[in-house]
Structure formats: structure tokens, C-alpha cells
């Protein structure tokens, strides 16, 4: 089972948020990469962000961003241990 490129874009977008500061939002400008614009829109449609161009994380979004950050942290730690 591979990861869909759209899913990876959504995860990458979630990782841009500072999960330690829920009052810090993001703004995706219209000049941004089309994949990032689309990821922001999809996350908003899923109820993960407050605006279609970023905004703030919802409660569900905060949980998703924390899980994404934790997963990346675990995988990077495993890579460091293996080397």
C-alpha cells in the first residue's frame, strides 16, 4: 500500500503548523505551489483547518497535526539510530 501524492501533500501541509502554538495559523497565497493550495483546500473540506487557504487548526486538525509530527519524529529517530 503506497501513499497517495495528495495524502503526502496534506501531511506536509499539517507539518507546517506549530502544534505547540494553536493560536498560530497559516496563509497559503495564491502564488503558492498548486499542490499546496489544493492540500489546504482539502484539509478545510475535511474540517481540519478553519479556512480553505489555511487559517487555524480545528480541534480535529490539532490532533491530526500532532499525530503527523509524532510519526515523523519517530521515523526520523529510527533512522538516526540505524545509522
Strand partners, 27: 54
Question: Residue 80 has what pLDDT?
Answer: 58
C-alpha span between 52 and 26 (Å, rounded): 11
The CA angle 80-82-83, to the nearest 5 degrees, is 65
pLDDT digits (tens, 9 = 90+) for 10-27: 999 999 999 999 899 999
Q: What percent of the chain has pLDDT over 90?
A: 86
Backbone φ, ψ for residue 57 (5° rounding): -75, 140
The tens digit of pLDDT for each residue in 48-65 reads 999 999 999 999 999 999
* Band of residue 81 on the pLDDT scale cut at 50, 70, 90: low
Judge whether 15 and 7 are in contact, CB under 8 Å: no
pLDDT, the chain, mean = 92
The pTM assigned to this predicted structure is 0.87
Element (H, E) at 27: strand 26-27
Amino acid at each position: 500500500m503506497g501513499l497517495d501524492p495528495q495524502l503526502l501533500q496534506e501531511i506536509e501541509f499539517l507539518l507546517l503548523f506549530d502544534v505547540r502554538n494553536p493560536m498560530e495559523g497559516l496563509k497559503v497565497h495564491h502564488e503558492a505551489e498548486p499542490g499546496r493550495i489544493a492540500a489546504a483546500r482539502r484539509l478545510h473540506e475535511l474540517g481540519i483547518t478553519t479556512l480553505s487557504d489555511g487559517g487555524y487548526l480545528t480541534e480535529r486538525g490539532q490532533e491530526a497535526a500532532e499525530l503527523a509530527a509524532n510519526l515523523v519524529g519517530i521515523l526520523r529517530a529510527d533512522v538516526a539510530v540505524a545509522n
